Chains A and B, each alone.
Chain A
């Protein structure tokens, strides 16, 4: 209530009278001392301020004293709690989604059974839970096949969404997505080369495609970064354009390679649309450290990323080493995205639409935006993957098609609902 009283009716200060005060502080701004600022102190300040005014140009302002001060702190506390509640709810939804989507598949395994299987895996209490009367291979299906795939989708979704948030903020461009630095085109070229050559297959086995894709994606983004670098500084608009130019160049080579090879085109195309078919715990193990490190770096920079939204120079004036921040965040986003692409192919739209949709709902503060976008991305991609498995069963649709089909219309709906889609 004090919030409304303060923002809508400023003339009602706490002692019920309007105080027209010319703002002349008695105390220096630089000598802030919480103890000296009792409530009484503020009132006397307001009164004594009148006497100090000798400047005929000083405008008249209304002072609100301590009323809104209390509200400022309260609302901040309140907001932090709101953020925590939101993150907690999303975590719960994520847990439920993981379990639910582990029940989806040709073998009919129920929610309770999946839950029991998982609980039995707990370190100490697990052995106390009785085994259900399901066939032996059910446990293999759930734990080895379905769950690994669901977790992988969650990691990729979280990584892409978080990278999207960071790049949109860093580039101050709502059209930015994790592939903006040419990672997708680089990785696609790498994967195509690996699939077509077949030589690397013999050396690296099933890891050939992910490894080559990862290396090529990373290499491309390093190249784009260096193209946009002048001395120590990186111009973000140049980075954007360099990413587009290099990306177009690389995808032209990929297309040429695909057309001239005459074989394996279907396999390459499948990879390029992105999906989780045939991925398992090995992929999760490879991906997890990258996503973890990448996300942690981004999360630790969240507050500073807010300040960067004011512009690079203003951020620098607020004591932020913008160039260092850019490097750290670009490395984090690149590692996350390149590793995600390596295991799952180029899944479009998640890194563009999830950050936007979440920003429209929770606001631009990265301290809440980053975790909620990561969680939402994870949930969204798990669901999309589940749909990809069942929509045309027994055939599987690449999950990239599902994300685009769901994401596009939903995003348009959000845009129409809220008039100002900016940051």
Chain B
């Protein structure tokens, strides 16, 4: 693949504020590049300087090795089309009028549209599935349809590159997917180079083959989505804690947000959560996000709760995958419970392997520690020990464990019970 757009050390400023502070990268022909970064990192400004709207104060943008700002506006428009975030429509042109405006760079001052132009407009409308809208007023189509019409207009330009500024941020998810899939197919089938600013990291990961992560006017890092979208990078650039998982179908990274609280900075008491298999991840995240010091046990390494706990930096009692709880890990678990101010039992299923967890909770009750049971499904449905677990479980209730059916109430309960003990 050859380089179609080369950005050499560009700097842009609005007045005294320097928005871009020296970016260098190149875009290969036929690539699908996503530009991501927090608000104010200069994404849209970058797109403006790439689209010949905002001339960089320093550095150069080279289109096919020619300086973009030395080329004629019309010449650039023949090679590059731009799709804005949203197009204001306060005029009653029909859809086909708008699409055929895309032919403007190909027409001279005294020229009007000819057969070739109608053909290009028709093909663009066919590709974007807007043919049936041809005679509707642009003011009378939905947001998703309108964005498809604007893309059709861009395609009618017959460009080599399309620049998009958050093309789907005002659309519903079905339209987001529809439009991005359309772009992806144009990218693959027609070798169209696509550069798009994204707000939504998951969409960017899903559709781009290359990402440029920006932070305060500089390229923080770039590369393929898996390289760029790491929890560490996102923490550093966005200042947000996230979990990165592999998308089960596409294999691309997929970002899961963690709830955060303003009080998170204040350290609160230690809470021990008994969980496993994913039943406790939400509670772990919730507690950690609200500033509690959390421990967990007994978790088989590699399971979802274990991954979550590790990510959150939670102290835990762990066991080798698929093995029942050993004496060693059981004791570790008890030790953690002893150190904690309260203990929470998540909605986990019980088999012979993890019955010891219930014993541990029972010990906590004996030490008159506040114990909470999150019961989202009845114990009978998740008892795979032939009644043993159920009797132990009901025993806990009798000994004074509090039962909650919704985990969101955990915080309230913790606040109550911990202030009482003090």
Contacts and interface: CB of A to CB of B under 8 A. Distances in A.
Q: Which of A30, A34, A71, A365 has the most CB of B within 10 A?
A: A30
Interface in A239-257: none
B91 A423 contact: yes
A69 B186 CA distance: 21
A26 B190 CA distance: 8
Nearest to B179: A59
A313 B50 CA distance: 13
Interface stretch (B123-131, B259-267, B361-369): B123-131
B289 to A, nearest CB: 32
Interface string B77-112: 110111010011011110011100110110101101
B93 A56 contact: no
A320 to B, nearest CB: 7
A185 to B, nearest CB: 28
B109 A29 contact: no
User: Which of under 10, 10 to 19, 20 to 34, or 35 or more describes the interface residues of B?
Assistant: 35 or more
B104 A320 contact: yes
A316 B132 contact: no
A52 B189 contact: yes
A50 to B, nearest CB: 13
Contact of B158 (A30, A57, A63): A30
Interface in A53-100: 55-59, 61-64, 68-69, 71-73, 75-76
B232 interface: no
A310 B101 contact: yes
A300 B109 contact: yes
A304 interface: yes
A6 interface: yes
A295 to B, nearest CB: 16
A29 B155 contact: yes
Nearest to A301: B109
A133 interface: no
A309 B158 CA distance: 21
Interface in B218-253: 249
A24 interface: yes
Contacts of B129: 23, 59, 61-63
B184 A62 contact: no
Nearest to B48: A313
User: Which of under 10, 10 to 19, 20 to 34, or 35 or more describes the interface residues of A?
Assistant: 35 or more
A408 interface: no
Contacts of B185: 23-24, 55, 58
Interface in A7-63: 7, 10, 23-26, 28-30, 32, 34, 37, 52, 55-59, 61-63
B160 interface: yes
B184 A317 contact: no
B119 A319 contact: no
Given A25-B190, A28-B190, A30-B158, A363 B92 contact: yes
Chain A facing B: main interface SS:
loop
Q: Which of B84, B102, B134, B192 has the most CB of A within 10 A?
A: B134
B97 A307 contact: no
Nearest to B82: A317
B284 interface: no
A275 interface: no
Given A55-B184, A318-B104, A318-B105, A364 B91 contact: yes
A198 interface: no
A363 B94 CA distance: 10
Contact of A3 (B116, B135, B158): B135
A422 B90 contact: yes
A304 B105 CA distance: 10
Contacts of B132: 6-7, 10, 62, 64, 68
Contacts of A55: 181, 184-185, 188
B87 A314 contact: yes
B241 to A, nearest CB: 29
B122 A69 contact: yes
B404 interface: no
A112 interface: no
Contacts of A24: 185, 189
Contact of A34 (B84, B115, B158, B160): B115
A300 B112 CA distance: 11
A254 B180 CA distance: 60
Contacts of A72: 96, 118, 121-122, 134
B51 interface: yes
A29 B124 contact: yes
Contacts of A34: 115-116, 119
Nearest to B185: A24
Contacts of B186: 25, 29
Interface string B190-224: 11100000000000001000000000000000000
B78 A319 contact: yes
Contacts of A76: 113, 118
A311 interface: yes
A282 interface: no
B177 interface: yes
B166 to A, nearest CB: 15
Contacts of A306: 93, 97, 101
A172 interface: yes
A319 B77 contact: yes
A7 B116 contact: no
Contact of A364 (B77, B93, B249): B93
A420 B89 CA distance: 12
Contact of A313 (B84, B107, B119): B84
B97 A365 contact: yes
Contacts of B74: 319-320
Nearest to B159: A30
Interface string A320-347: 1100000000000000000000000000
A68 B98 contact: no
A321 B116 contact: no
B384 to A, nearest CB: 36
Contacts of A68: 122, 131-132, 134
B73 interface: yes
Nearest to A423: B91
B71 to A, nearest CB: 11
Interface of A: 3, 6-7, 10, 23-26, 28-30, 32, 34, 37, 52, 55-59, 61-64, 68-69, 71-73, 75-76, 172, 300, 303-304, 306-307, 309-311, 313-314, 316-321, 363-365, 367, 420, 422-423
Interface of B: 51-53, 73-78, 80-82, 84, 87-88, 90-93, 96-98, 101-102, 104-105, 107, 109-110, 112-113, 115-116, 118-124, 126-129, 131-132, 134-136, 139, 155, 157-160, 177-178, 180-182, 184-186, 188-192, 206, 249
Given A6-B134, A63-B131, 19 more contacts: A10-B131, A25-B186, A28-B189, A29-B123, A30-B158, A52-B189, A68-B122, A72-B122, A73-B118, A75-B135, A309-B91, A311-B84, A313-B82, A316-B53, A318-B77, A319-B73, A320-B104, A365-B93, A422-B92
7 contacts: A32-B116, A58-B181, A59-B178, A68-B131, A304-B104, A320-B104, A365-B93
| Nearest 6 A/B pairs, CB to CB | A319-B77, A319-B105, A423-B91, A319-B74, A61-B129, A317-B82
